[in-house]
Chains A and B, each alone.
Chain A
Amino acid sequence: MKQPVTPGFILAAFLGIVLPGFSQEALTVYVEGETTARNLEGKLLSLEIGDPLKSGESVITKITGRADLELPNKSTIQIKPNTVFTLGEVELEGEKQTVLSTAVGSVAYRLNKFTGRGPSIRTAGAIAGVRGTDLTVYAGADGSTLVVVEKGTVAVESAGEEVILETNEAVEVKAGSPPGQKFSWIGKQIDYSQWNQGKLEEFLQDPVAGLYRVADQLEAYRKGMEEILPELKKAEEEWAAKYEELKKAVEAKDEEKASNLREELIKGVGEDRRILFLNKRFYALSYLSMRRYVVGGLYLQMKARYLTKPTDEIFIQYKALHEEILKQYEEIIVPHLVEADI
Protein backbone atom coordinates (compact mmCIF):
# COMPACT_ATOMS: atom_id res chain seq x y z
CA MET A 1 0.00 0.00 0.00
CA LYS A 2 2.34 2.72 -1.29
CA GLN A 3 1.52 6.40 -1.33
CA PRO A 4 1.52 7.72 -4.92
CA VAL A 5 4.24 10.25 -5.78
CA THR A 6 2.63 13.17 -7.58
CA PRO A 7 4.47 15.24 -10.22
CA GLY A 8 4.07 18.26 -7.91
CA PHE A 9 5.94 16.44 -5.21
CA ILE A 10 8.75 15.49 -7.61
CA LEU A 11 9.12 19.10 -8.76
CA ALA A 12 9.05 20.40 -5.21
CA ALA A 13 11.65 17.88 -4.11
CA PHE A 14 13.86 18.89 -7.03
CA LEU A 15 13.84 22.49 -5.81
CA GLY A 16 14.65 21.46 -2.28
CA ILE A 17 11.21 21.78 -0.68
CA VAL A 18 10.18 19.04 1.69
CA LEU A 19 6.41 18.80 1.88
CA PRO A 20 4.83 17.58 5.07
CA GLY A 21 3.30 14.12 4.63
CA PHE A 22 0.16 12.60 6.08
CA SER A 23 1.20 11.02 9.32
CA GLN A 24 -1.81 9.22 10.78
CA GLU A 25 -1.50 5.48 10.52
CA ALA A 26 -3.27 2.51 12.07
CA LEU A 27 -1.91 -0.99 12.40
CA THR A 28 -3.89 -4.10 11.49
CA VAL A 29 -3.80 -6.37 14.53
CA TYR A 30 -6.46 -8.92 13.60
CA VAL A 31 -8.14 -10.08 10.41
CA GLU A 32 -10.84 -12.69 9.89
CA GLY A 33 -12.63 -13.92 6.75
CA GLU A 34 -12.56 -11.99 3.50
CA THR A 35 -11.27 -8.51 4.18
CA THR A 36 -9.70 -6.14 1.68
CA ALA A 37 -7.88 -2.84 1.93
CA ARG A 38 -8.29 -0.13 -0.67
CA ASN A 39 -4.96 1.65 -0.93
CA LEU A 40 -4.13 5.19 -2.02
CA GLU A 41 -3.74 4.03 -5.61
CA GLY A 42 -7.30 2.67 -5.48
CA LYS A 43 -6.15 -0.95 -5.61
CA LEU A 44 -8.02 -3.60 -3.65
CA LEU A 45 -5.61 -5.82 -1.74
CA SER A 46 -6.12 -8.58 0.78
CA LEU A 47 -5.65 -7.12 4.29
CA GLU A 48 -3.20 -9.00 6.47
CA ILE A 49 -2.22 -8.79 10.14
CA GLY A 50 0.65 -6.30 10.46
CA ASP A 51 -0.43 -4.16 7.48
CA PRO A 52 -0.42 -0.44 8.21
CA LEU A 53 -3.47 1.57 7.15
CA LYS A 54 -2.57 5.09 6.05
CA SER A 55 -4.66 8.21 5.94
CA GLY A 56 -6.91 7.96 2.88
CA GLU A 57 -6.99 4.16 2.86
CA SER A 58 -10.06 2.01 3.53
CA VAL A 59 -10.93 -1.42 4.86
CA ILE A 60 -13.82 -3.31 3.21
CA THR A 61 -15.12 -6.40 4.97
CA LYS A 62 -17.22 -8.99 3.19
CA ILE A 63 -20.03 -11.09 4.69
CA THR A 64 -17.58 -13.16 6.77
CA GLY A 65 -14.91 -10.48 7.18
CA ARG A 66 -13.78 -8.43 10.16
CA ALA A 67 -10.64 -6.56 11.13
CA ASP A 68 -9.18 -4.90 14.21
CA LEU A 69 -6.93 -1.87 13.93
CA GLU A 70 -4.81 -0.15 16.52
CA LEU A 71 -3.97 3.56 16.58
CA PRO A 72 -0.59 4.84 17.84
CA ASN A 73 -2.10 5.65 21.29
CA LYS A 74 -3.32 2.02 21.57
CA SER A 75 -6.95 2.89 20.85
CA THR A 76 -8.66 0.02 19.04
CA ILE A 77 -11.09 -0.05 16.15
CA GLN A 78 -13.17 -3.18 15.46
CA ILE A 79 -14.51 -3.30 11.91
CA LYS A 80 -17.43 -5.72 11.64
CA PRO A 81 -18.76 -7.64 8.59
CA ASN A 82 -20.24 -5.79 5.55
CA THR A 83 -18.50 -2.56 6.47
CA VAL A 84 -16.54 0.12 4.67
CA PHE A 85 -14.22 2.01 7.02
CA THR A 86 -11.82 4.81 6.03
CA LEU A 87 -8.99 6.43 7.94
CA GLY A 88 -8.66 10.09 7.04
CA GLU A 89 -7.47 13.49 8.13
CA VAL A 90 -8.71 17.07 8.03
CA GLU A 91 -7.12 20.25 9.25
CA LEU A 92 -9.10 22.38 11.71
CA GLU A 93 -7.82 25.68 13.09
CA GLY A 94 -4.27 24.79 12.15
CA GLU A 95 -4.44 21.40 13.83
CA LYS A 96 -4.69 18.02 12.15
CA GLN A 97 -7.63 15.87 13.11
CA THR A 98 -7.91 12.17 12.48
CA VAL A 99 -11.19 11.21 10.86
CA LEU A 100 -12.52 7.68 11.33
CA SER A 101 -15.33 7.19 8.81
CA THR A 102 -17.86 4.41 8.40
CA ALA A 103 -19.59 4.66 5.02
CA VAL A 104 -21.79 1.66 5.72
CA GLY A 105 -21.72 -1.16 8.27
CA SER A 106 -20.67 -1.10 11.93
CA VAL A 107 -17.50 -0.23 13.79
CA ALA A 108 -16.75 -0.40 17.52
CA TYR A 109 -14.23 2.01 19.04
CA ARG A 110 -12.27 1.77 22.29
CA LEU A 111 -10.59 5.15 22.34
CA ASN A 112 -7.91 6.19 24.78
CA LYS A 113 -7.02 9.82 25.41
CA PHE A 114 -5.31 11.56 22.49
CA THR A 115 -2.56 14.14 22.63
CA GLY A 116 -4.01 17.24 20.98
CA ARG A 117 -7.30 17.14 19.15
CA GLY A 118 -9.22 13.87 19.50
CA PRO A 119 -10.50 12.04 16.43
CA SER A 120 -13.72 12.82 14.65
CA ILE A 121 -15.89 9.77 14.13
CA ARG A 122 -18.03 10.10 11.07
CA THR A 123 -20.65 8.41 8.99
CA ALA A 124 -22.26 9.76 5.86
CA GLY A 125 -24.77 11.65 8.00
CA ALA A 126 -23.29 12.40 11.42
CA ILE A 127 -20.13 13.50 13.22
CA ALA A 128 -19.17 12.38 16.71
CA GLY A 129 -16.48 14.16 18.70
CA VAL A 130 -14.91 11.88 21.30
CA ARG A 131 -12.13 11.56 23.85
CA GLY A 132 -11.49 8.53 26.01
CA THR A 133 -14.66 6.78 24.94
CA ASP A 134 -16.04 3.36 24.08
CA LEU A 135 -18.72 3.51 21.41
CA THR A 136 -20.15 1.69 18.42
CA VAL A 137 -21.21 3.39 15.23
CA TYR A 138 -23.74 1.80 12.88
CA ALA A 139 -24.08 3.23 9.37
CA GLY A 140 -27.19 2.06 7.57
CA ALA A 141 -27.84 1.32 3.92
CA ASP A 142 -30.20 4.34 3.75
CA GLY A 143 -27.57 6.80 5.10
CA SER A 144 -28.91 6.66 8.69
CA THR A 145 -26.57 6.49 11.67
CA LEU A 146 -26.91 4.97 15.12
CA VAL A 147 -24.34 5.97 17.75
CA VAL A 148 -24.22 3.83 20.89
CA VAL A 149 -22.04 4.93 23.83
CA GLU A 150 -20.75 2.27 26.18
CA LYS A 151 -18.45 4.50 28.23
CA GLY A 152 -17.64 8.21 28.23
CA THR A 153 -19.18 11.21 26.53
CA VAL A 154 -19.85 11.75 22.85
CA ALA A 155 -21.10 14.86 21.05
CA VAL A 156 -23.08 13.83 17.97
CA GLU A 157 -23.61 16.53 15.37
CA SER A 158 -25.71 16.59 12.25
CA ALA A 159 -27.41 19.26 10.14
CA GLY A 160 -26.03 21.95 12.48
CA GLU A 161 -27.49 20.46 15.67
CA GLU A 162 -25.72 18.62 18.46
CA VAL A 163 -26.73 16.11 21.10
CA ILE A 164 -24.51 14.98 23.99
CA LEU A 165 -24.53 11.29 24.79
CA GLU A 166 -23.33 9.88 28.09
CA THR A 167 -22.57 6.29 29.07
CA ASN A 168 -25.33 3.86 28.02
CA GLU A 169 -27.06 6.39 25.79
CA ALA A 170 -27.66 6.20 22.06
CA VAL A 171 -29.07 8.34 19.27
CA GLU A 172 -30.24 7.76 15.74
CA VAL A 173 -29.62 10.27 12.95
CA LYS A 174 -31.38 10.15 9.58
CA ALA A 175 -29.42 11.28 6.51
CA GLY A 176 -29.51 15.04 6.07
CA SER A 177 -31.46 15.52 9.35
CA PRO A 178 -30.60 16.64 12.91
CA PRO A 179 -30.03 13.95 15.58
CA GLY A 180 -33.21 12.35 16.94
CA GLN A 181 -34.15 11.90 20.62
CA LYS A 182 -31.42 10.21 22.62
CA PHE A 183 -32.40 7.03 24.45
CA SER A 184 -30.97 4.53 26.90
CA TRP A 185 -29.92 1.38 25.12
CA ILE A 186 -29.46 -0.71 28.26
CA GLY A 187 -31.57 -3.83 28.06
CA LYS A 188 -31.96 -3.48 24.30
CA GLN A 189 -30.10 -5.88 22.10
CA ILE A 190 -28.66 -3.86 19.24
CA ASP A 191 -27.95 -6.00 16.23
CA TYR A 192 -26.62 -4.25 13.12
CA SER A 193 -28.28 -6.57 10.60
CA GLN A 194 -31.70 -6.15 12.21
CA TRP A 195 -31.34 -2.40 12.62
CA ASN A 196 -30.12 -2.03 9.03
CA GLN A 197 -32.97 -4.19 7.71
CA GLY A 198 -35.41 -1.96 9.60
CA LYS A 199 -33.85 1.15 8.04
CA LEU A 200 -34.08 -0.41 4.59
CA GLU A 201 -37.75 -1.33 5.07
CA GLU A 202 -38.46 2.21 6.27
CA PHE A 203 -36.73 3.54 3.15
CA LEU A 204 -38.71 1.24 0.85
CA GLN A 205 -42.01 2.58 2.22
CA ASP A 206 -41.20 5.92 0.59
CA PRO A 207 -38.00 5.56 -1.46
CA VAL A 208 -38.24 8.94 -3.18
CA ALA A 209 -38.41 10.77 0.17
CA GLY A 210 -35.53 8.62 1.43
CA LEU A 211 -33.38 9.55 -1.55
CA TYR A 212 -34.22 13.24 -1.08
CA ARG A 213 -32.83 12.97 2.49
CA VAL A 214 -29.62 11.45 1.10
CA ALA A 215 -29.50 14.24 -1.50
CA ASP A 216 -29.69 16.81 1.32
CA GLN A 217 -26.63 15.30 2.93
CA LEU A 218 -24.78 15.26 -0.40
CA GLU A 219 -25.70 18.90 -0.83
CA ALA A 220 -24.02 19.69 2.50
CA TYR A 221 -20.80 18.06 1.24
CA ARG A 222 -21.04 19.94 -2.07
CA LYS A 223 -21.49 23.27 -0.26
CA GLY A 224 -18.59 22.48 2.07
CA MET A 225 -16.33 21.81 -0.89
CA GLU A 226 -17.47 24.76 -2.97
CA GLU A 227 -16.90 27.18 -0.11
CA ILE A 228 -13.25 26.17 -0.09
CA LEU A 229 -12.64 26.42 -3.85
CA PRO A 230 -12.17 30.22 -4.25
CA GLU A 231 -9.72 30.33 -1.33
CA LEU A 232 -7.87 27.32 -2.69
CA LYS A 233 -7.62 28.87 -6.16
CA LYS A 234 -6.16 32.05 -4.64
CA ALA A 235 -3.68 30.06 -2.54
CA GLU A 236 -2.64 28.01 -5.59
CA GLU A 237 -2.05 31.15 -7.64
CA GLU A 238 0.04 32.66 -4.86
CA TRP A 239 1.98 29.41 -4.48
CA ALA A 240 2.63 29.19 -8.25
CA ALA A 241 3.87 32.80 -8.32
CA LYS A 242 6.26 32.17 -5.40
CA TYR A 243 7.38 28.96 -7.06
CA GLU A 244 8.26 30.83 -10.25
CA GLU A 245 10.21 33.32 -8.13
CA LEU A 246 12.06 30.44 -6.50
CA LYS A 247 13.00 28.94 -9.88
CA LYS A 248 14.42 32.31 -10.94
CA ALA A 249 16.32 32.69 -7.66
CA VAL A 250 17.78 29.18 -8.08
CA GLU A 251 18.81 29.97 -11.66
CA ALA A 252 20.35 33.27 -10.51
CA LYS A 253 22.12 31.38 -7.69
CA ASP A 254 20.67 33.84 -5.17
CA GLU A 255 20.80 31.39 -2.27
CA GLU A 256 19.46 33.75 0.40
CA LYS A 257 16.36 34.68 -1.60
CA ALA A 258 15.84 31.05 -2.58
CA SER A 259 16.04 30.01 1.05
CA ASN A 260 13.41 32.59 2.09
CA LEU A 261 11.13 31.55 -0.73
CA ARG A 262 11.45 27.87 0.21
CA GLU A 263 10.41 28.79 3.73
CA GLU A 264 7.36 30.66 2.42
CA LEU A 265 6.46 27.82 0.11
CA ILE A 266 6.42 25.43 3.05
CA LYS A 267 5.15 27.43 5.97
CA GLY A 268 3.40 30.47 4.51
CA VAL A 269 1.35 30.17 1.39
CA GLY A 270 2.35 26.51 1.02
CA GLU A 271 0.77 25.60 4.35
CA ASP A 272 -2.47 27.46 3.49
CA ARG A 273 -2.62 25.71 0.13
CA ARG A 274 -2.00 22.32 1.70
CA ILE A 275 -4.69 22.73 4.36
CA LEU A 276 -7.27 23.97 1.86
CA PHE A 277 -6.43 21.15 -0.54
CA LEU A 278 -6.70 18.55 2.24
CA ASN A 279 -10.09 19.90 3.30
CA LYS A 280 -11.38 20.09 -0.27
CA ARG A 281 -10.36 16.44 -0.73
CA PHE A 282 -12.14 15.57 2.48
CA TYR A 283 -15.47 16.94 1.22
CA ALA A 284 -15.05 15.45 -2.27
CA LEU A 285 -14.21 12.03 -0.84
CA SER A 286 -17.07 12.19 1.67
CA TYR A 287 -19.41 12.90 -1.24
CA LEU A 288 -17.92 10.01 -3.21
CA SER A 289 -18.27 7.66 -0.26
CA MET A 290 -21.96 8.45 0.20
CA ARG A 291 -22.57 8.32 -3.54
CA ARG A 292 -20.86 4.92 -3.82
CA TYR A 293 -22.14 3.08 -0.75
CA VAL A 294 -25.48 4.71 0.02
CA VAL A 295 -26.76 6.06 -3.33
CA GLY A 296 -25.29 3.07 -5.21
CA GLY A 297 -26.51 0.51 -2.67
CA LEU A 298 -30.05 1.96 -2.69
CA TYR A 299 -30.11 2.00 -6.49
CA LEU A 300 -29.37 -1.72 -6.49
CA GLN A 301 -32.19 -2.32 -4.00
CA MET A 302 -34.63 -0.37 -6.17
CA LYS A 303 -33.51 -1.75 -9.51
CA ALA A 304 -33.82 -5.35 -8.32
CA ARG A 305 -37.28 -4.76 -6.92
CA TYR A 306 -38.64 -2.74 -9.83
CA LEU A 307 -36.93 -4.32 -12.84
CA THR A 308 -40.05 -6.36 -13.51
CA LYS A 309 -42.29 -3.26 -13.23
CA PRO A 310 -40.30 -0.49 -14.97
CA THR A 311 -43.35 1.71 -15.59
CA ASP A 312 -44.18 1.98 -11.88
CA GLU A 313 -44.53 5.68 -11.06
CA ILE A 314 -42.41 5.40 -7.88
CA PHE A 315 -39.55 3.82 -9.81
CA ILE A 316 -39.77 6.43 -12.57
CA GLN A 317 -39.56 9.24 -9.98
CA TYR A 318 -36.76 7.46 -8.17
CA LYS A 319 -34.71 6.97 -11.33
CA ALA A 320 -35.14 10.64 -12.28
CA LEU A 321 -33.83 11.80 -8.88
CA HIS A 322 -31.02 9.24 -8.95
CA GLU A 323 -30.00 10.52 -12.38
CA GLU A 324 -30.06 14.11 -11.12
CA ILE A 325 -27.74 13.15 -8.23
CA LEU A 326 -25.33 11.40 -10.61
CA LYS A 327 -25.28 14.39 -12.96
CA GLN A 328 -24.44 16.76 -10.11
CA TYR A 329 -21.75 14.37 -8.89
CA GLU A 330 -20.21 14.03 -12.34
CA GLU A 331 -20.27 17.77 -13.05
CA ILE A 332 -19.23 19.13 -9.66
CA ILE A 333 -17.39 16.45 -7.67
CA VAL A 334 -15.69 14.21 -10.25
CA PRO A 335 -13.36 17.03 -11.49
CA HIS A 336 -11.88 17.03 -7.97
CA LEU A 337 -11.30 13.27 -7.90
CA VAL A 338 -8.61 11.14 -9.47
CA GLU A 339 -8.84 7.63 -10.91
CA ALA A 340 -7.27 6.19 -7.76
CA ASP A 341 -10.30 7.42 -5.78
CA ILE A 342 -12.70 5.36 -7.88
Chain B
Amino acid sequence: MIRHATRSSGFLCAGIVLAIVLSSCATVPYVQKEDRVYKLIELINRGEVTEVPGLVTTPFLVDGEIVLLQKDLVDFWDNLYNAGFQIRNPRIRQNRFAMPEDARMFRDSMEVRTFFKKYIDTNTSLVEIESADGTYYFLLNREVKGYPRIQGFRGPVQ
Protein backbone atom coordinates (compact mmCIF):
# COMPACT_ATOMS: atom_id res chain seq x y z
CA MET B 1 0.00 0.00 0.00
CA ILE B 2 2.80 2.35 0.97
CA ARG B 3 4.81 1.39 -2.15
CA HIS B 4 1.73 1.97 -4.29
CA ALA B 5 1.19 5.42 -2.77
CA THR B 6 4.84 6.33 -3.31
CA ARG B 7 4.71 5.23 -6.94
CA SER B 8 1.47 7.25 -7.43
CA SER B 9 2.98 10.36 -5.92
CA GLY B 10 6.10 9.82 -8.06
CA PHE B 11 3.94 9.71 -11.20
CA LEU B 12 2.06 12.77 -9.97
CA CYS B 13 5.32 14.72 -9.45
CA ALA B 14 6.60 13.69 -12.88
CA GLY B 15 3.26 14.69 -14.38
CA ILE B 16 3.37 18.09 -12.70
CA VAL B 17 6.95 18.69 -13.88
CA LEU B 18 5.99 17.65 -17.43
CA ALA B 19 2.91 19.89 -17.35
CA ILE B 20 5.02 22.84 -16.14
CA VAL B 21 7.63 22.22 -18.85
CA LEU B 22 4.97 21.89 -21.57
CA SER B 23 2.99 24.92 -20.45
CA SER B 24 6.13 27.06 -20.16
CA CYS B 25 7.19 25.97 -23.66
CA ALA B 26 3.92 27.25 -24.99
CA THR B 27 4.27 30.65 -23.35
CA VAL B 28 8.02 31.33 -23.46
CA PRO B 29 8.35 34.57 -25.41
CA TYR B 30 10.12 34.12 -28.71
CA VAL B 31 13.10 36.31 -29.53
CA GLN B 32 14.12 36.70 -33.13
CA LYS B 33 17.37 35.21 -34.41
CA GLU B 34 19.65 38.10 -35.39
CA ASP B 35 21.04 36.51 -38.55
CA ARG B 36 17.46 36.10 -39.78
CA VAL B 37 16.74 39.77 -39.12
CA TYR B 38 19.70 40.81 -41.28
CA LYS B 39 18.54 38.35 -43.94
CA LEU B 40 15.12 40.03 -43.86
CA ILE B 41 16.68 43.49 -44.23
CA GLU B 42 18.55 42.26 -47.29
CA LEU B 43 15.25 41.02 -48.69
CA ILE B 44 13.62 44.42 -48.02
CA ASN B 45 16.55 46.20 -49.68
CA ARG B 46 16.16 43.95 -52.75
CA GLY B 47 12.44 44.83 -52.88
CA GLU B 48 11.41 41.20 -52.65
CA VAL B 49 9.37 41.18 -49.44
CA THR B 50 6.09 40.63 -51.21
CA GLU B 51 7.54 37.80 -53.27
CA VAL B 52 7.77 35.47 -50.25
CA PRO B 53 4.23 34.15 -49.71
CA GLY B 54 2.92 34.76 -46.21
CA LEU B 55 5.76 37.07 -45.16
CA VAL B 56 3.69 40.24 -45.00
CA THR B 57 0.16 39.50 -43.97
CA THR B 58 -2.71 41.54 -42.61
CA PRO B 59 -3.48 42.79 -39.99
CA PHE B 60 -0.31 44.86 -40.15
CA LEU B 61 0.85 47.99 -38.36
CA VAL B 62 2.59 50.90 -40.09
CA ASP B 63 3.28 53.71 -37.59
CA GLY B 64 -0.22 54.28 -36.13
CA GLU B 65 -2.11 52.73 -39.05
CA ILE B 66 -3.68 49.29 -38.85
CA VAL B 67 -3.66 47.78 -42.34
CA LEU B 68 -6.40 45.25 -43.06
CA LEU B 69 -6.37 45.25 -46.85
CA GLN B 70 -3.72 43.00 -48.35
CA LYS B 71 -3.51 45.17 -51.49
CA ASP B 72 -2.63 48.26 -49.42
CA LEU B 73 0.20 46.32 -47.81
CA VAL B 74 1.56 44.90 -51.07
CA ASP B 75 1.41 48.39 -52.63
CA PHE B 76 3.22 49.81 -49.60
CA TRP B 77 6.24 47.51 -49.89
CA ASP B 78 6.36 47.78 -53.67
CA ASN B 79 6.10 51.59 -53.57
CA LEU B 80 8.83 51.76 -50.91
CA TYR B 81 11.22 49.85 -53.14
CA ASN B 82 10.25 51.84 -56.23
CA ALA B 83 10.98 55.05 -54.30
CA GLY B 84 14.52 53.80 -53.68
CA PHE B 85 14.05 52.88 -50.03
CA GLN B 86 16.95 51.01 -48.40
CA ILE B 87 17.91 50.32 -44.80
CA ARG B 88 21.56 51.31 -45.02
CA ASN B 89 24.23 50.11 -42.57
CA PRO B 90 21.76 48.27 -40.33
CA ARG B 91 22.70 47.38 -36.76
CA ILE B 92 20.39 45.66 -34.30
CA ARG B 93 20.20 47.82 -31.22
CA GLN B 94 17.45 45.92 -29.44
CA ASN B 95 15.89 42.51 -29.96
CA ARG B 96 13.44 41.28 -27.38
CA PHE B 97 9.92 39.93 -27.08
CA ALA B 98 7.19 42.50 -27.70
CA MET B 99 5.13 43.74 -24.74
CA PRO B 100 1.82 45.63 -24.62
CA GLU B 101 3.68 48.78 -23.46
CA ASP B 102 5.59 48.78 -26.76
CA ALA B 103 2.41 49.97 -28.48
CA ARG B 104 3.40 53.57 -27.77
CA MET B 105 6.57 53.15 -29.83
CA PHE B 106 4.23 53.03 -32.84
CA ARG B 107 1.57 55.48 -31.62
CA ASP B 108 0.09 56.18 -28.20
CA SER B 109 -3.50 55.47 -29.23
CA MET B 110 -6.36 53.17 -28.39
CA GLU B 111 -6.13 51.63 -31.86
CA VAL B 112 -2.48 50.63 -31.56
CA ARG B 113 -3.00 49.35 -28.00
CA THR B 114 -5.87 47.25 -29.32
CA PHE B 115 -3.71 45.97 -32.19
CA PHE B 116 -1.11 44.82 -29.68
CA LYS B 117 -3.76 43.20 -27.50
CA LYS B 118 -5.34 41.34 -30.41
CA TYR B 119 -2.49 40.41 -32.68
CA ILE B 120 0.79 40.54 -30.75
CA ASP B 121 1.58 37.39 -28.84
CA THR B 122 4.53 35.58 -27.28
CA ASN B 123 5.82 34.79 -30.77
CA THR B 124 6.33 38.46 -31.59
CA SER B 125 9.65 40.24 -31.09
CA LEU B 126 10.30 43.94 -31.09
CA VAL B 127 13.44 44.62 -33.08
CA GLU B 128 15.04 48.07 -33.10
CA ILE B 129 17.39 48.70 -35.99
CA GLU B 130 19.77 51.58 -36.20
CA SER B 131 20.69 52.65 -39.70
CA ALA B 132 22.35 55.46 -41.61
CA ASP B 133 18.94 57.13 -42.01
CA GLY B 134 17.56 56.73 -38.49
CA THR B 135 16.02 54.06 -36.31
CA TYR B 136 13.42 51.54 -37.45
CA TYR B 137 11.14 49.39 -35.31
CA PHE B 138 9.90 46.04 -36.54
CA LEU B 139 7.42 43.63 -35.05
CA LEU B 140 8.63 40.23 -36.17
CA ASN B 141 6.95 36.88 -35.71
CA ARG B 142 8.14 33.30 -36.26
CA GLU B 143 9.72 32.43 -39.57
CA VAL B 144 8.02 31.91 -42.90
CA LYS B 145 10.26 30.27 -45.49
CA GLY B 146 13.38 31.21 -43.54
CA TYR B 147 12.44 34.86 -42.93
CA PRO B 148 10.77 36.42 -39.87
CA ARG B 149 7.12 37.26 -40.63
CA ILE B 150 6.64 41.04 -40.46
CA GLN B 151 3.70 42.30 -38.40
CA GLY B 152 4.65 45.94 -37.97
CA PHE B 153 6.99 48.64 -39.18
CA ARG B 154 7.80 52.13 -37.98
CA GLY B 155 10.47 54.56 -38.99
CA PRO B 156 12.77 56.13 -39.59
CA VAL B 157 12.75 57.82 -36.19
CA GLN B 158 15.56 60.38 -35.87
Q: Which residues of A contact B (CB under 8 A)?
A: 34, 38, 42, 44, 60, 62-63, 82, 84, 104, 292-293, 296-297, 299-301, 303-308, 310, 326, 330, 334, 337, 339, 342
Contact = CB atoms under 8 A, between A and B. Distances in A.
B69 interface: yes
Interface core residue of B59, B71, B109 (most chain A CB under 10 Å): B71
Interface stretch (B73-81, B92-100, B120-128): B73-81
Contact of A292 (B66, B71, B114): B66
A297 B68 CA distance: 9
A299 B69 contact: no
Contacts of B78: 304
A177 to B, nearest CB: 23
A63 B114 contact: no
6 contacts: A34-B70, A62-B70, A300-B76, A330-B109, A342-B66, A342-B115
Contacts of B11: none
A63 B80 contact: no
Contact of A296 (B72, B80, B83): B72
B71 A305 contact: no
A184 to B, nearest CB: 30
Nearest to B62: A300
B76 A304 contact: yes
9 tightest A-B CB contacts, nearest first: A304-B79, A342-B114, A62-B70, A296-B65, A82-B71, A304-B80, A300-B76, A297-B72, A339-B114
Given A334-B110, A339-B114, A342-B114, A301 B79 contact: yes
Nearest to B81: A304
B67 interface: yes
Contacts of B62: 299-300, 303
B70 A330 contact: no
A80 B120 CA distance: 30
B85 A307 contact: yes
B118 to A, nearest CB: 7
Contacts of A296: 65-67, 72
A300 B110 contact: no
B73 to A, nearest CB: 8
Contacts of B110: 330, 334, 337, 339, 342
B117 interface: yes
B75 A300 contact: yes
A300 B67 contact: yes
B59 A44 contact: yes
Interface in B81-135: 83-85, 109-111, 114-115, 117-118
B148 interface: no
Contacts of A62: 58, 69-71
A63 B117 CA distance: 27
B57 to A, nearest CB: 9
B42 interface: no
B152 interface: no
A60 to B, nearest CB: 6
Contact of B111 (A44, A293, A342): A342
A327 to B, nearest CB: 10
Contact of A305 (B63, B79, B115): B79
- Residue in B78, B109, B117 with the greatest tally of chain A CB atoms within 10 Å: B109
Contacts of B77: 304
B84 A63 contact: no
A339 B67 contact: no
A308 B85 contact: yes
Nearest to B70: A62
A236 B85 CA distance: 53
A330 B114 CA distance: 13
Nearest to A38: B68
Nearest to B76: A300
B59 A303 contact: no
